[in-house]
């Protein structure tokens, strides 16, 4: 019996060690605050799915609070001016606004979206491509402890340059899940985000609370490959943001394996030793509290797991 427990513990440990090398996928659903029916469905999904709330939406406070209570990371979805003419949210930031106005809008947004730990831009092709405009935003954000997730609604966004000299950390969206509301397209985009995370180590995808997006996420999330872990954007703040020029890996076979014994098989073989304690720090939410992990924490802390041949 104790042998069996040891083997089970070691296999769980291997899975955890694998997790240190797993692709980290972050999914943010923005435009929250207008469609409680779909948004409540998003909040039923795993807590690693994060949500971004429009501060002036009618259900902003309610949805931010609910999301937080259910363990989801909350962002402020800050409206910023687009280049094209479209209906705008109240208090949309423009490049020519004085700093005092930007400061007021952000302060009010913070008050309306409780529990937020980051911001991302709603629209914003005109605002985020303006260096002086974004410098004013970053100067204000420097007084808060928020990260800025650039939705990348334009290729030449200036957020990274504008944040230089401030303490604001910048993340960038890699995939939009639902530019169209066609299920097959959304599925394709989801798979693309998975492959980017596998190739580059991490990827952030943004989607919206449309019924089709909700449906595809409900279908796809339980079939994530075992070498992908869902993380919150804040868990990527200290990750190198790599964009490799290698081709994308082939599409993984969908799996329902969250079972440690099956998960080990598809874990990429790495040659570096992984201190168990470090590996435990990055383990997926789904297994953090499992009996196996508790066993490993108790019995194997301080050990080093080596995968493949040590150099």
Q: Which stretch binds Zn ion (CB under 5 A): 27-35, 82-90, 92-100, 292-300?
A: 27-35
Q: Which stretch binds Zn ion (CB under 5 A): 122-130, 198-206, 240-248, 266-274?
A: 122-130
> Closer to Zn ion at the Cβ: 31 or 200?
31
Q: Which stretch binds Zn ion (CB under 5 A): 35-43, 119-127, 138-146, 213-221?
A: 119-127
- Shortest Cβ 119–Zn ion spacing (Å): 12
122 binds Zn ion per the rule CB under 5 A: yes
178 binds Zn ion per the rule CB under 5 A: no
Q: Which stretch binds Zn ion (CB under 5 A): 1-9, 18-26, 120-128, 292-300?
A: 120-128
> Closer to Zn ion at the Cβ: 54 or 97?
54
> Closer to Zn ion at the Cβ: 31 or 39?
31
**Residue 87 in tokens:** 């209906």
- Shortest Cβ 127–Zn ion spacing (Å): 13
173 binds Zn ion per the rule CB under 5 A: no
> Closer to Zn ion at the Cβ: 51 or 307?
51
- Shortest Cβ 216–Zn ion spacing (Å): 18
Residue nearest to Zn ion (CB): 122
Which residues does residue 204 pair with via DSSP β-bridges, in sequence order?
26
> Closer to Zn ion at the Cβ: 112 or 122?
122
CA distance 29 to 174: 14
Which residues does residue 182 pair with via DSSP β-bridges, in sequence order?
none
Selected from 15, 16, 31, 307, the binder of Zn ion by CB under 5 A is 31
Size of site (CB under 5 A) for Zn ion: 3
Within 8 A by CB and 6+ apart from 162, the residues are 131, 134, 135, 137, 138
> Closer to Zn ion at the Cβ: 121 or 135?
121
Residues that bind Zn ion (CB under 5 A): 30-31, 122
């Amino acid at each position: 019996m104790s042998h069996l427990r040891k083997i089970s513990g070691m296999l769980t440990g291997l899975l955890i060690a694998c997790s240190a090398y797993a692709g980290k996928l972050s999914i943010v659903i923005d435009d929250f605050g207008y469609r409680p029916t779909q948004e409540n469905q998003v909040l039923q999904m795993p807590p690693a799915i994060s949500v971004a709330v429009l501060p002036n939406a009618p259900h902003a406070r309610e949805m931010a609070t609910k999301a937080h209570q259910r363990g989801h990371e909350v962002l402020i979805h800050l409206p910023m001016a687009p280049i094209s003419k479209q209906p705008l949210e109240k208090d949309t930031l423009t490049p020519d606004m004085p700093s005092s106005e930007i400061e007021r809008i952000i302060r009010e947004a913070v008050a309306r979206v409780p529990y937020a730990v980051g911001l991302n831009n709603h629209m914003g092709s005109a605002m985020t491509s303006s260096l002086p405009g974004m410098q004013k935003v970053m100067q204000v954000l420097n007084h808060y402890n928020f990260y800025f997730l650039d939705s990348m609604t334009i290729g030449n966004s200036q957020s990274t340059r504008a944040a230089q000299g401030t303490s604001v950390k910048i993340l960038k969206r890699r995939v939009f899940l639902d530019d169209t509301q066609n299920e097959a397209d959304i599925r394709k985009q989801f798979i693309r985000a998975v492959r980017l995370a596998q190739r580059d180590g991490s990827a952030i995808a943004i989607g919206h609370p449309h019924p089709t997006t909700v449906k595809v996420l409900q279908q796809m999330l339980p079939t994530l490959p075992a070498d992908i872990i869902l993380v919150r954007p804040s868990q990527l703040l200290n990750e190198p943001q790599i964009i490799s020029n290698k081709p994308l890996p082939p599409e993984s076979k969908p799996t329902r394996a969250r079972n440690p014994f099956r998960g080990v098989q598809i874990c990429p073989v790495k040659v570096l030793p992984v201190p168990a304690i470090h590996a435990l720090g990055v383990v997926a939410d789904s297994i953090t509290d499992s009996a196996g992990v508790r066993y490993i924490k108790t019995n194997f802390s301080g050990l080093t797991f080596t995968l493949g041949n040590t150099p």
